[in-house]
Amino acid sequence: MSRGLRSLGVVVASIFLSACGSLLPSEHDETISPFGDYTDTEIRYSQAVPGKTSRAELFSLGFDPLAQGNGRMLSFVDIRLMFVQPNIPIDYLPDGLIKCLEAKDRCIGYAFEFSKTDTQRVGSFWADVLNFSKQREVKGWSFRTVFVLVDDVLVHKVSNGEPNIRKVLVKKNPLGPIQGAGEFFSDQLK
The model's pLDDT over 97-143, given as tens digits with 9 standing for 90+, comes to 999 999 999 999 999 999 888 888 787 777 777 777 778 888 889 99
Q: Which of 142, 115, 111, 120 is nearest to 29 (CA)?
A: 115
From 27-36, 118-127, 180-189, the region with the lowest mean pLDDT: 180-189
Pair 38, 143: CB distance under 8 Å: yes
Give me the pLDDT at residue 167, please. Answer: 85
Contacts of 18 (CB under 8 A, 6+ apart): none
Quick one: pLDDT band at residue 67, thresholds 50, 70, 90? Answer: confident
Give the C-alpha separation, 87 to 179, whole Å. Answer: 48
Q: What's this model's pTM, rounded to 2 decimal places?
A: 0.73
For the chain, counts of helices (H) and of strands (E)? 7, 5
Of residues 185 and 37, more confidently modeled: 37
Element spanning 134, H or E: strand 133-150
